């Protein structure tokens, strides 16, 4: 019986080999409105590159699942940038493992693929991670690409969570950071938006390691320093993490991420050293109040050229230079804060009932 099965298998394989050269090979990811994809990671990338070479924005958008389209507000707008990377920057590629998952016990049948690739450019090697649901009999809106994540090779620990959304990045942080940072989860969406929407390029700068303590535990800490570039200026990005916690392991992971203008190193180089979380300083303002002829002159100095407005129309501001604004008043109006930072483009601080905004 086994011999007959072997013979039949050989015959089928033989005829498949003869016939296959005459059958056109499928290149479409979606057939009759349903995502079908490719089982081989090589074929998947080969056919995906056919879409990028044709600069087929609509075709690439089609491979994404309805769920991905719903959850990403500007998915289609990001595709031309992806096409440009593959067509103009990438010189070659190869598969780099990946894995698949399936489940069906007591519920819908779900097949998921996570292919990974190495993408080579003239200057850097990138990792490419894809998150694909091939089949979901319980919810067809999940079928298709969910995310394509491209990041510098060697930074998988810090970048892999982006494709998993807010929870993926949150899970990269140490338990100590989660327990002691009040706004960590609130800062993550803005951090993702800044990295995705503002950063045009980056470069590694330096790193250092040191022995220290966190929550009374002896650990080995590391600080990685990168320069990240936007269209307007260059920032330093300090990623502080714990690479060894021999006592209980709960402190291993990222402790803090701090981003600030490169030319403000002396003001912010310890940002995130003593406190865990995500910090970003991109536009700062320093107020001063001077007595002038029985009244006062409020001077506002910004870290870079910016527009300054006040929520009270009777407060008149005059610009002395690109980074200095003045407003003259009767009486004294001391500031409640020496300095406050803008977060993500807006800086608000108060002098009694006045609020100045820097854009």
Domains of the chain (ranges, CATH numbers)? 28-154 (3.10.450.50), 170-280 (3.10.450.50), 284-358 (no CATH)
Check whether 358 has a pLDDT greater than 80. Answer: no
Question: Do β-strands 253-261 and 277-280 pair in parallel, antiparallel, or remain unpaired?
Answer: parallel
CB-based contacts of 11: which residues, under 8 Å, 6+ apart?
none
pLDDT band at 10 (very low <50, low <70, confident <90, very high): very low
* Per-residue pLDDT band at 250 (split at 50, 70, 90): low
Q: Give the tokens for residue 255.
A: 């402790």
Cβ atoms 205, 236 nearer than 8 A: yes
Predicted pLDDT at 13:
43
Average confidence score pLDDT of the chain: 78
Q: How far is CA 65 from the centre of its chain?
A: 20
93 vs 202, more confident: 93
Measured between alpha carbons, how far is 126 from 150 in angstroms, rounded to an integer? 6
Is residue 8 over pLDDT 70?
no
pLDDT digits (tens, 9 = 90+) for 262-314: 887 887 888 888 889 998 887 767 777 776 666 778 888 877 777 888 877 88
Q: Provide φ and ψ at 327, rounded to 5°.
A: -145, 125
Bigger pLDDT: 263 or 55?
Answer: 55
Distance CA 194, CA 190 (A): 6
Verdict on whether the full-model pTM lies above 0.85: no
pLDDT for the residue 90 = 92
d(CA 227, CA 203): 5
What are 59-82's pLDDT values in tens digits? Answer: 999 999 999 898 877 788 889 989
Element (H, E) at 41: helix 41-53
Contact yes or no for 222/207 (Cβ under 8 A) = yes
Alpha-helical runs (H) found in 164-236: 165-170, 175-180, 184-197
In DSSP terms, 280 is beta-bridged to 259
The more confident residue out of 322 and 15 is: 322
pLDDT tens track for 189-247:
888 878 877 888 888 888 888 888 777 778 888 888 989 888 878 899 999 988 765 55
CA nearest to 63, candidates 129, 132, 144 = 144
The pLDDT assigned to 241 comes to: 86
- Please say if the pLDDT value at position 315 is more than 60: yes
pLDDT at 344: 39
pLDDT digit string, tens, across residues 318-353: 898 888 888 887 765 555 544 444 443 445 555 556
Specify the pLDDT at position 335.
Answer: 54
How confident is the model at residue 105, as a pLDDT? 61
């Amino acid at each position: 019986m086994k011999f007959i099965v072997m013979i039949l298998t050989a015959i089928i394989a033989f005829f498949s080999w003869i016939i296959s050269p005459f059958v056109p090979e499928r290149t479409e990811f979606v057939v009759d409105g349903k995502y079908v994809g490719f089982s081989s990671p090589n074929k998947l990338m080969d056919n995906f590159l056919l879409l990028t070479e044709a600069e087929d924005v609509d075709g690439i958008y089609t491979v994404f699942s309805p769920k991905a389209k719903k959850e990403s507000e500007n998915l289609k707008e990001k595709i031309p940038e992806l096409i440009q990377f593959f067509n103009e920057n990438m010189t070659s590629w190869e598969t780099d493992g990946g894995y698949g998952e399936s489940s069906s016990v007591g519920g819908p049948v779900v097949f998921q693929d996570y292919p990974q690739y190495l993408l080579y450019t003239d200057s850097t090697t990138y990792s490419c991670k894809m998150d694909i649901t091939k089949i979901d009999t319980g919810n067809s809106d999940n079928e298709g690409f969910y995310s394509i994540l491209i990041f510098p090779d060697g930074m998988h620990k810090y970048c892999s969570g982006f494709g998993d959304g807010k929870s993926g990045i949150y899970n990269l942080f140490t338990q100590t950071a989660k327990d002691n940072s009040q706004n960590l989860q609130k800062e993550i969406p803005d951090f993702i938006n800044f990295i995705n929407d503002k950063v045009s390029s980056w470069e590694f700068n330096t790193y250092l390691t040191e022995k220290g303590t966190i929550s009374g535990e002896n650990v080995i800490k590391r600080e990685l320093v990168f320069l990240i570039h936007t269209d307007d200026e260059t920032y330093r990005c300090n990623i502080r993490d714990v690479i060894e916690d021999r006592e209980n392991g709960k402190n291993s992971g990222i402790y803090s991420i701090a981003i600030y203008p490169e030319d403000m190193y002396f003001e912010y180089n310890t940002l995130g050293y003593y406190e865990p979380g995500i910090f970003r300083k991109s536009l700062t303002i320093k107020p001063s109040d001077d007595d002038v002829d029985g009244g006062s002159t409020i001077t506002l100095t910004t870290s870079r050229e910016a527009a300054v407005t006040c929520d009270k129309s009777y407060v008149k501001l005059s610009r002395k230079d690109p980074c200095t604004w003045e407003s003259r008043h009767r009486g004294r109006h001391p500031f409640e804060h020496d300095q406050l930072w803008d977060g993500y483009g807006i800086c608000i601080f108060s002098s009694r009932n006045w609020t100045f905004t820097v854009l």
